Structure 1
Amino acid sequence: MFGKSSKINEFRLWGLLFTLFGMGLMILGTAGIVFWGQAGKVFAAIFMVIGMIAMLVSVAVYFWAGMLSTSATILICPECNRHTKILGKTDRCMYCKTKLTLDPKQATDLGDDESASEEVGQPQT
């Protein structure tokens, strides 16, 4: 969605957005009771249900991101020298946003004296 973040962090961001959206809808629904009294109860019930669905979607997104995180390849970022997780063949560092790849054909900044595995980081076992 926003482009300059790792894939796992993007999934977590979507989970956070769904959480905030759901909570906002539930608060808005509760405001219907305050401002409209008895007529606002139907308004509140509708917005509470929609907000709860958004909250459940956020739980599903967070669960999915957690499951992806457990199977992600861990490597050392060549820029910041921190352990980071990578999904797929290309991703970004979770900390410094450096583009990383496991495919030597996609690595662009290879010097003559460096091998492809030194540039993209060593996968940890």
Structure 2
Amino acid sequence: MLFKSSKVNEFRLWGLALTMGGLLIMIIGMAGIVFDWGVIGQVIAAIFLVLGLISVMVSMGIYFWAGMLSTSAVVIECPECAKPTKMIGKTDRCMFCKTILTLDPELANTNKPVAKE
């Protein structure tokens, strides 16, 4: 449960990872020009800059998609922490306390889990 989060936060995490990865790829690619590797360095820099640009553009699309999902998400109050959280789909997690939430009564689990010995 430590690494689980709400769907909106997951999309934002992937967008951030692609942004940072794309910028890192661009920085690595610039080594061909900075260290003066000649024509092959320029080719390497061009390839890495294009790959980094593609990664940043994909992350921009993911951020846009997450924003559009966030505007149409249902805002509910978490029963555990009492904070308002956005929910996408039938089940999601609280953005703050990571509690599993659902609006579908068939998927709701009202029983507390029993500890196995």
RMSD after superposition:
1.6
Residue 19 of structure 2 aligns with which residue? 19
C-alpha separation in 2, matches of 1:42 and 1:25:
14
Correspondence 1:7 to 2:16: no
Poorly superposed stretches of 4+, deviation over 4 Å = none
Q: What TM-score comes out, normalization by structure 1 length?
A: 0.83
Shift of residue 33 of structure 1? 1.4
Deviates further, 34-43 or 8-17: 34-43
User: What does 1:48-63 correspond to in 2, within 5 Å?
Assistant: 48-63=49-64
1:66 matched to 2:67 = yes
Deviation at 1:31, TM superposition (A): 1.3
Gaps of 5+ in 1: 112-125
Aligned position for 1:100? 101
Number of corresponding residues: 110
Query: Residue 67 of structure 1 aligns to which amino acid in structure 2?
Result: M
Q: Name the TM-score, length of structure 2 as normaliser.
A: 0.88
Using the TM superposition, give the Cα deviation of residue 21 of structure 1 relative to its aligned residue in structure 2, in angstroms. 0.9
Percentage of identical aligned residues = 60
2:115 maps to: none
Higher relative CO (Cα under 8 Å, sequence separation at least 6) belongs to 2
Q: Partners in 2 of 1:83 and 1:23 — Cα distance?
A: 34
Q: Secondary structure at the match of 2:46?
A: helix
* 1:83 equivalent in alignment to 2:84: yes
Cα shift at 1:96: 0.4
SS in 2 for 1:85: strand
Deviation at 1:66?
0.1
